[in-house]
A and B are shown apart, each in its own frame.
Chain A
Amino acid sequence: MLTSLLAATTTVDALTFAIAAAVVLSGSVGVVVARNPVHSALMLVMTLFGVAVLFVEQQANFLAAVQVIVYAGAIVVLFLFVIMFLGVDREESLEKEPLRAQRPLAAGLIVLGLAGLLLMGFGAHWSVGAKSVAGPSRNQAGGDVAALGKSVFTTYLFAFEITSALLVIAVVGAVVLARRPGGVLGGADSDPDEPADDAPSPTEEVSP
């Protein structure tokens, strides 16, 4: 099976995939096991770059660029900003686990799920219906950028418009959530360390 899968593959492609897969796997394991949230965020950047390489490898050049710009450039920076803003960039002890059965249970569940996924992926014969609902992706004039743009602005135009509404709602929601209960938008005159009147005193609540 391995030789048939590797047939008709150039060495460069296989090597690129191997390196990118190693980067992606080590990065994603690093996100989970890093004790410091900042290290987790940096490992996430590594994973995202690896996935971008895999996108380029599959002729999705535009998506690779967007992946680097939006994910690594915007989302991870937002994560780091919130980590620094909240000051939670402390080391977290991973040895202490309050619920005794959680880790074995989680590992068992994940192994079961992964086995099911891989069995489905390697064993099943997919019946995938009509091909090219939104047009072919290979050998287009203008490459994948033109093909993607055409499909987004014709076939998926409605979804694209709804997306803009979603972004506006997300921005409004973030502003509403970030408001202080008193009403002013975190103004310089209000003391950020002082909770609002109706809030319970946090130091008493969280102390064990």
Chain B
Amino acid sequence: MSLSGVWYLGLAAVVFSIGALGLLVRRNVLVMFMCVELMLNAANLTFVTFSRMLNDIGGQALVFFTLVVAAAEVVVGLGIVVAIFRRRRTATADDFHIMRG
């Protein structure tokens, strides 16, 4: 018998919050991306926990799709970072004020 699912849900909530905090306070775009990955992982952990609690494989299937979406997101996001870096020579979010004119 495994641990009660509540522990896993609490841990996932804390990891999600740490990721959101990092996304808000860090300025390096790559580190901000890693914080997004942390939040995605916390959501995955929640899905797997509910999958076990409800005895339903659907949660695990959803994690499978989340992994694919995360991979696609990282590929496109890092492509954007590289494209911006070519023009602006910086990877800091503060310097990306092109859109403001």
Are the chains A and B members of one assembly?
Answer: yes
- A: residues with CB less than 8 A from B are 5-6, 8-10, 13-14, 17, 21, 24-25, 28-29, 31-32, 34, 37, 40-41, 44, 47-48, 51, 54-55, 57-60, 62-63, 66-67, 70-71, 74-75, 78-79, 82-83, 85-86, 88, 92, 98, 102-103, 106-107, 109-111, 113-114, 117-118, 121-122, 128, 131-138, 144, 147-148, 150-152, 155-156, 159-160, 163, 166-167, 169-171, 173-174, 177-178, 180, 195, 199-200, 202-203, 205-206
Q: In the bound complex, what is the Cα–Cα distance between A93 and B64 (angstroms)?
A: 37
On whether A32 and B82 interact (CB within 8 A), knowing A14-B3, A205-B88, A206-B89, the answer reads no
Which B residues, 1 to 26, have Cβ-Cβ distances below 8 Å to chain A? 1-4, 6-11, 13-22, 24-26
B70 to chain A, nearest CB (A): 7
A32 touches B26 (CB 8 A): yes
Q: Specify which of B4, B25, B65, B85 is in contact with A5 (CB 8 Å cutoff).
A: B4
The reply to whether B56 and A137 contact each other, CB–CB distance below 8 Å, is yes
Q: In the complex, which of the residues A17, A28, A137 has the most CB atoms of chain B within 10 Å of its own CB atom?
A: A28
Q: Which chain B residue has the least Cβ–Cβ distance from A116?
A: B13
Chain A residues with CB below 8 A from B100, complex form: none
B47 to chain A, nearest CB (A): 9
Cβ contact within 8 Å between A54 and B57: no
Q: Which residues in A have their C-beta under 8 angstroms from that of B67?
A: 66-67, 70-71
Please name 26 pairs of A and B residues whose Cβ atoms are closer than 8 Å in the assembled complex, sorted by A. A13-B3, A25-B15, A41-B34, A44-B34, A47-B38, A47-B41, A51-B45, A63-B63, A66-B64, A66-B67, A70-B71, A71-B41, A75-B37, A79-B33, A79-B74, A85-B82, A86-B81, A110-B17, A111-B17, A121-B13, A147-B57, A147-B60, A166-B69, A177-B76, A177-B83, A206-B88
Chain B hits for A206, CB < 8 A = 88-90, 95
